[in-house]
Structure 1
Amino acid sequence: MAVFVRAGVKADLPAVDALLARSYPKLLKADYPPSVLVTALPIISRARPELIGCGTYYVAEEAGQILGAGGWTQDRIRADKGHIRHVVTDDRALRRGIGRAILSHTIDTARQSGVIELECASTLTAVPFYASVGFESEETIVIDLAPGIQFPAVRMRQFLG
Structure 2
Amino acid sequence: MSIIVRPSTKADFAAVDSLLARSYPKLLKSDYAPSVLVTALPIISRARPGLIACGTYYVGVDNDQVLAAGGWTRDRVRADKGHIRHVVTDDRALRRGIGRAILGHTIETARQAGVIELECASTLTAVPFYSSVGFEVEEDMIIELAPGIQFPAVRMRQVWQ
Q: Could you say which TM-score interval applies, normalised by the shorter chain?
A: over 0.9
1:113-132, aligned counterparts within 5 Å? Answer: 113-132=113-132
1:96-135, aligned counterparts within 5 Å? Answer: 96-135=96-135
Unpaired runs of 5+ residues, structure 1, are: none
Structure 1 runs (4+) greater than 3 angstroms displaced? none
Counterpart amino acid of 2:133? V
Q: Deviations over 1:41-80 (max 9, x none)?
A: 0000000111001100000000000000000000000000
Q: Percent same amino acid at aligned positions?
A: 79
Cα contact 1:68–1:99 (8 A) shared by 2: yes
Pairwise CA RMSD of aligned residues? 0.5
Aligned counterparts of 2:97 and 2:47: Cα–Cα separation in 1: 22
Unpaired runs of 5+ residues, structure 2, are: none
Q: Compute the displacement of 1:160 (Å).
A: 2.5
SS at match of 2:114: coil
The match for 1:76 is: 76
1:10-49, aligned counterparts within 5 Å? Answer: 10-49=10-49
Aligned counterparts of 1:28 and 1:76: Cα–Cα separation in 2: 29
Counterpart amino acid of 2:103? L
The match for 1:152 is: 152
The match for 1:143 is: 143
1:57-72, aligned counterparts within 5 Å? Answer: 57-72=57-72
Aligned counterparts of 1:158 and 1:149: Cα–Cα separation in 2: 28
Cα contact 1:118–1:160 (8 A) shared by 2: no
TM-score in terms of structure 2 length: 0.99
Counterpart amino acid of 1:101? A
SS at match of 1:66: strand
